[in-house]
C-alpha cells in the first residue's frame, strides 16, 4: 500500500513541474504587481507572472486571494496601485480589443437572440455587416448551439447561455481570453461538459487563456499551468506546469492523483495564512476585586 502511494506521488511530481518563463519570452508580463483598495484592503502584493503565447493558465486559490483582481488588472478594468502589467511589451492602460473578459454570468442581452448577441458584439468591434452573420454562425456551431440561433436567453439552460457567451467571446477573436469562474454557477454534470468543450476549443485555437477558479479539479482538467495563490495579501506561492497530455478525461487516474497533490498544497497554503490563535493560559488568572484597577490586557480588550 505504501509503495503504491509513493508511486502515485512520484507520478504527480513528474506531471507537475515548476514553471520558468522569462519576461522577454512572455506574451503577458506582470511585474511586482500590487493593489490596495480604497478600504485599505491589500488585494495583491508583489505578484510576478509571465505567460507564454498559447498557454492556458489557471489562477487557483481560495476566495479573497486576489485572483479576480489580477484578472481584472489584465483586462484593464482595475488600475493597480503598484507594479506593471503588459501584453506584447505594451503596458496595459485600460480595456482593449486584444482582450476579452468573460464573467461568472453569461451577460447576454435578454431581448436579443443567440445570433443577435454575437452579431451585436461583432458590430461593436467594427466587423463589416457582410461578415457578421457567417462569423456568428461559425462560432455558434463551434460551441454546439446549432438549432438555437434564434432562441432568446430565457429559452436556454444555464449551460447553453454560457456556450452562447463563449461563442460571442471567440467570435471577437481576442488574442487573450480572460475567464472569471465562468462555470461556477453550473451543476456538476453541465460543468464537466463545458470543461470538455472549452478544452476541445483550446486544442483547436491555442488561444492564450487566463482562467480563474477555486476548483482544483477544474484547474488541472483545463490548464497547461496552474498558479496557486495565497490569501490576503494575494500573492503567488506556486507556479506549476501541467504535463498531462490533452484531451484530459475527468476520471483519468493521473489527473485525480494530481488533484489530491495540489489540494494538499492548497491546504498547506491556507493553514500557513491563518492567524495563530492565542495560547490558552495554563491556569485561570486571579479574579480582580470590584475595586481593583483593570490589568493592561483587560484595559485594551474589546467588547
Same domain, 92 and 7: yes
124, 154, 173 - which closes a domain: 173
123, 157, 173 - which closes a domain: 173
Sheet holding 28-36, edge to edge: 42-51, 28-36, 82-87, 90-91
Same domain, 247 and 158: no
Same domain, 68 and 119: no
pLDDT (tens digit per residue) in 46-79: 999 999 999 999 999 988 889 999 999 999 999 9
pLDDT (tens digit per residue) in 216-256: 999 999 999 999 999 878 999 999 999 999 999 999 999 99
Same domain, 1 and 92: yes
Same domain, 143 and 28: no
Report if residue 293 sits inside a domain: no
Report if residue 164 sits inside a domain: yes
Distance of CA 136 to the CA centre of its chain: 26
Same domain, 78 and 201: yes
121, 155, 173 - which closes a domain: 173
Tell me the C-alpha distance between 237 and 209, whole Å. Answer: 20
Report if residue 103 sits inside a domain: no
pLDDT (tens digit per residue) in 196-216: 999 999 999 999 999 999 999
Count of domains observed in the chain: 2
Same domain, 169 and 250: no
pLDDT for 220 equals 97
Report if residue 2 sits inside a domain: yes
Structural contact between residues 135 and 104, judged by C-beta atoms closer than 8 angstroms: no
pLDDT for 12 equals 62
Closest C-alpha among 207, 210, 219, 208 to residue 178: 210
Report if residue 299 sits inside a domain: no
Same domain, 216 and 89: yes
| Mean pLDDT score, 88-98 | 92
Same domain, 91 and 187: yes
| Residue 22, C-beta contacts closer than 8 angstroms, at least 6 positions apart | 50
Mean pLDDT, the chain, whole residue set = 87
Same domain, 163 and 18: no
CATH number of the domain at 39, please.
3.40.50.300
Report if residue 259 sits inside a domain: yes
Tell me the C-alpha distance between 168 and 146, whole Å. Answer: 14
Same domain, 181 and 169: no
Question: In the beta sheet, which residues pair with residue 208?
Answer: 176
Same domain, 75 and 203: yes
* Domain containing residue 119: 108-173
Amino acid at each position: 500500500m505504501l509503495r503504491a502511494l509513493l508511486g502515485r506521488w512520484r507520478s504527480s511530481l513528474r506531471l507537475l513541474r515548476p514553471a520558468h518563463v522569462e519576461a522577454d519570452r512572455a506574451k503577458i508580463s506582470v511585474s511586482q504587481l500590487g493593489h490596495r483598495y480604497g478600504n485599505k484592503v491589500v488585494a495583491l502584493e508583489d505578484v510576478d507572472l509571465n505567460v507564454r503565447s498559447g498557454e492556458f493558465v489557471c489562477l487557483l486559490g481560495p476566495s479573497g486571494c486576489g485572483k479576480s483582481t489580477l484578472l481584472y488588472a489584465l483586462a484593464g478594468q482595475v488600475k493597480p496601485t503598484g507594479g506593471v502589467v503588459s501584453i506584447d511589451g505594451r503596458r496595459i492602460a485600460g480595456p482593449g480589443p486584444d482582450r476579452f473578459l468573460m464573467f461568472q454570468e453569461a451577460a447576454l442581452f435578454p431581448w436579443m437572440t443567440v445570433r443577435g448577441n454575437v452579431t451585436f458584439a461583432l458590430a461593436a468591434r467594427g466587423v463589416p455587416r457582410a461578415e457578421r452573420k457567417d462569423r456568428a454562425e461559425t462560432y455558434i456551431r463551434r460551441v454546439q448551439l446549432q438549432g438555437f440561433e434564434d432562441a432568446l436567453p430565457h429559452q436556454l439552460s444555464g449551460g447553453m447561455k454560457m456556450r452562447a457567451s463563449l461563442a460571442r467571446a471567440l467570435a471577437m477573436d481576442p488574442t487573450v481570453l480572460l475567464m472569471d469562474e465562468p462555470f461556477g454557477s453550473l451543476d456538476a454534470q453541465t460543468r464537466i461538459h463545458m470543461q470538455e468543450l472549452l478544452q476541445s476549443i483550446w486544442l483547436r485555437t491555442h488561444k492564450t487563456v487566463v482562467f480563474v477558479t477555486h476548483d482544483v479539479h477544474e484547474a488541472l482538467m483545463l490548464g497547461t499551468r496552474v498558479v496557486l495563490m495565497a490569501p490576503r495579501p494575494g500573492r503567488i506561492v506556486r507556479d506549476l506546469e501541467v504535463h498531462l497530455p490533452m484531451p484530459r478525461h475527468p476520471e483519468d487516474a493521473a489527473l485525480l492523483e494530481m488533484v489530491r497533490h495540489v489540494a494538499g498544497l492548497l491546504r498547506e497554503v491556507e493553514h500557513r495564512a491563518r492567524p495563530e490563535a492565542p495560547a490558552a493560559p495554563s491556569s485561570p488568572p486571579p479574579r480582580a476585586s470590584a475595586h481593583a484597577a483593570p490589568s493592561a490586557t483587560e484595559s485594551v480588550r474589546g467588547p
